[in-house]
Structure 1
Amino acid sequence: MKRIILAIALVCVSSFALTLEDVKRGLKANLINPDSLEYRVHTVVTVPTFGSQATDYHYVTKGKNKVYFEMRSSLVNQRMIQSGKKMKTIDLVTQKERITPYNGEIEKFASVQNGSDALSSGNWKEPVRVEGSLYKIEGDSSIVYYDSAKKQVQKMEQAVGENSSVMTFEYDNVTKQICAMHISVMVGTQETKVDMTFSVYRSSAKFPDRYFEF
């Protein structure tokens, strides 16, 4: 009788166990298509011996071939607009413009790791419960901590040799979208910090098409 009860208990537990596919489906629930995305983010990078540098970014995509990108700081004030195979670059101080072939320049500046796409590449093991609704998911070189109740990635750790990084994510309670991200990168004994605060993170459906016209 005890064996029967134990067997039933094991079946019940396994049937409610969180799987990797469950996590991926949960993350997709709040994922905005990267080809229809708008965000504004204030970024502060703190580097040992060099101090801090703040930059404001505005990034918009409308389809695969239309990108609007601004960055403003004490060093650079520039707008870049991709429309098809061409790019317009505008110096926001002098208002000088130039049009050149587009070769992927914007992606070099605008790439942002979002918790919702943390498992989109690489090999990952099945989730292991840490406590409550928090689960740990190990990958090739990273560990993701996922809250199954909120369907959100809370933290991501990565280690390569003696170097490591930790990313923590905060989300808006209403939109369920990312509102802040904090990154700590250790290279040997030197720590670089990146703090990102999003004032906008939403679909770009209402962003005017006229901004992509040359």
Structure 2
Amino acid sequence: MSVLIADDEELTRTGLRALLSAQPDVDVVGEAADGAEVLPLVMRLRPDVVLMDVRMPQVDGIEATRRVRAELSDPPKVVVITTFENDEYVYDALQAGASGFVLKRAPARQIAHAIRLVATSDSVLFPEVVRRLATSRPVRREAARRLAALTQRETDILRRMAKGLTNQEISAELIVSLETVKTHVGNVLAKLGAHNRTQAVILAYEAGLVGPGVSGL
């Protein structure tokens, strides 16, 4: 799978390239030194995944993620890479459409696993810290209003999406066909006005549908 690295620190980019290039199934196709460079490079190189730093001086990773998702009909997956696990910027990047995040200090195999997960499946990569960031905020009425439009089955599907289950895993757990799950997921995204699974899951946490102490699964 092809990867574009976006980070303003040359040493970090060099280190990530070396680590990822050692993986037999990862091909680093390019590097961006700022978020402003990401969209042009994505359009030219068409990577499967962008490994995106959030804090960059001119255009940060949040805005770069928004641009990629807004300009391309089939955008690459975005994995945010950051120094601090409680970085509020991470939450904002996830709201913008990133599929998950990893820490810069994580082992190479963990970073590679994150890239494989978002590139080859329909799961989202939501470590527990992101769940805490989402659930530490007050329940948003707008999020709750959007979720009220879902049927009970669609709500059940969204809960399992929030657990990080793939469509295949949801199909097995609910004992329904994969095509049925895909249809429900599409309906969930449409009703919530979410561009991808990540944004739908964020709304589920903000509405209080899932989170610490919430039952229903």
TM-score scaled by structure 1?
Answer: 0.22
Structure with higher Rg: it is 1
* Larger fraction in helix: 2
TM-score scaled by structure 2?
Answer: 0.22
* Larger fraction in strand: 1
